[in-house]
Amino acid sequence: MPKYLIALALLAGPACASAADCSVDVDGNDAMQFDRKEIVVDAGCKDFTIRLTHSGKLAKNAMGHNVVVARAADLQAVATDGMTAGAGNDYVKPGDERVVAHTKVIGGGESTAVTFATAKLAAGGDYAFFCSFPGHWAVMKGTLRRT
Ligand code: CO
């Protein structure tokens, strides 16, 4: 959330004055892009939710998107193993211990979400979020860190 929105939320009233924002919205489109490059997970959150939408029109077998969270150093290997695992596994190797969390693959007009325990992230760790659909990870990626 941009800082000015947080300021507005604080002004809005006590209902949202002290709660950390424990979720984030990410959108993917038909141009193979995410609408954000960074996700910051507040250390005050026990669980964190990533909501993924696909604002495009293309089907998931042509322009599928998911969100996978892993250490930045493991991104390419996780994506490569995911491609081998195939669409039936949402392009994530089953039981892959390098994967902190992942959503299913969605197509245009669809949405999904994943919630995970922030304890799975090391504070200050160098993580990435990316789409593991074949060929997408090189472009559809950003940084993720826990405060
Ligand atoms: Co994608």
Predicted confidence (pLDDT) per residue in 11-70, tens digit: 444 444 446 799 999 999 999 999 999 999 998 999 999 999 999 999 999 999 999 999
pLDDT at 4: 56
Q: Ligand 1 mean position to 124 CA, how many Å?
A: 26
User: pTM of the entire structure?
Assistant: 0.87
Q: Ligand 1 mean position to 13 CA, how many Å?
A: 38
Decide: 101 and 71 in contact? Cβ < 8 Å.
no
> With bands split at pLDDT 50, 70 and 90, how would you rate the model's confidence at 124?
confident
Considering the chain, what percentage of its residues have pLDDT values greater than 90?
84
Q: Which residues have beta carbons under 5 A from ligand 1 (an ion)? A: 65, 131, 133, 136, 140
> Could you tell me whether strands 127-130 and 141-146 are parallel, antiparallel, or unpaired per DSSP bridges?
antiparallel
pLDDT at 20: 78
Comparing 123 with 55, the larger pLDDT belongs to: 55
pLDDT at 109: 98
Q: Ligand 1 mean position to 22 CA, how many Å?
A: 24
DSSP secondary structure letter of residue 74: G
Decide: 43 and 58 in contact? Cβ < 8 Å.
no
Handedness of CA 9, 11, 16, 20 (dihedral sign): positive
pLDDT at 96: 98
Q: Ligand 1 mean position to 32 CA, how many Å?
A: 6
Q: Ligand 1 mean position to 97 CA, how many Å?
A: 21
Q: Ligand 1 mean position to 18 CA, how many Å?
A: 35
**Phi, psi (5° rounding) for residue 61?**
-80, -10
pLDDT at 16: 45
Q: Ligand 1 mean position to 29 CA, how many Å?
A: 8
Angle at 42 between CA 64 and CA 96, to 5 degrees: 45
Q: Ligand 1 mean position to 16 CA, how many Å?
A: 33
Decide: 132 and 79 in contact? Cβ < 8 Å.
yes
Rounded mean pLDDT, 102-119: 98
Q: How many residues does the chain have?
A: 147
pLDDT at 13: 42
Q: Ligand 1 mean position to 107 CA, how many Å?
A: 9
Decide: 140 and 82 in contact? Cβ < 8 Å.
no
